[in-house]
Structure 1
């Protein structure tokens, strides 16, 4: 896998399209997580402008995977003690599911955290998605709690240590 690159404004529609693909997939399976159209293009554009999105592209501008990296996440995790990096919105084109790309992206995110001295990789998932919970458990994450976040669904908070070198 080549490393994800910082998203540009040219990637906004591609990120949004991946999100919509996943929203429709979740709804078709009766999983109450991402609801169709709940994140407008304008929100993704703002996140890209803040430098939060990283993408993998096929050819020049076709986004095939993406994730947001945050250095704090008070809305989901509360105050940060400076030891964690946070992943949101990890997604890849459904045609690539099962090829290990998600695990590679999580490894890349952990490496970005390690470069900044972080020792923990954190993320969350909808409590209503047991398949995703199993995926994170199998990926070495441990449950750190469960909480209701605003008007969103209830989430499970996940954490995995970041391997340090040296």
Structure 2
């Protein structure tokens, strides 16, 4: 697909069906590779509509092709109760055909700029702590592990924070 570094992603909001398709593809790939993360019912279009406002559902297009999606939310009462200094990243996923081409990093950069434009200090996210490659990816993207949270009885979540450039 080429290098997205030369071309910016075009971000669209509220495309629940497209976001669900990307998330479902990622969920199926993870399940088939023995690393289930999201059950299909959690990434369905209906589930996304129940969970998130349209402006929180982001889809990144590269050359008119939807390649990446995430939820950028402004509250996370489960993992970050009472914290309002951040944008919270959830369910970041890239189409398999576009994996490894910088689209996830570009989406995180876009989200950081959006958070800064809203006066936020950082981006925050959580991920399964035992997914070492995923944790390493977030660390390469400038996130620092700042804690953990045990999602009993299942697994430990790593909590990450990344400062954003202020827009003052």
TM-score bracket relative to the smaller structure? 0.7 to 0.9
Helix, strand or coil for the counterpart of 1:51? helix
Alignment of 1:126-165 (within 5 A): 126-149=128-151, 153-164=155-166
Preserved CA contact (<8 Å) 1:31 1:129: no
How far 1:21 moved relative to its partner?
1.1
Q: How many residues align?
A: 161
Q: 1:125 aligns with which of 124, 127, 132?
A: 127
Preserved CA contact (<8 Å) 1:64 1:92: yes
Helix, strand or coil for the counterpart of 1:155? strand
Change (3 A) 1:152 1:87: farther
Q: 2:46 aligns with which of 38, 42, 49?
A: 42
Preserved CA contact (<8 Å) 2:88 2:123: yes
Unpaired segments ≥5 residues, structure 1: none
Residue in 2 that maps onto 1:85: 87
Q: 2:10 aligns with which of 3, 19, 25?
A: 3
Distance in 1 separating the partners of 2:55 and 2:154: 24
Unpaired segments ≥5 residues, structure 2: 1-7
Residue in 2 that maps onto 1:76: 79
Distance in 1 separating the partners of 2:99 and 2:31: 17
Residue in 2 that maps onto 1:12: 16
Distance in 2 separating the partners of 1:83 and 1:132: 24
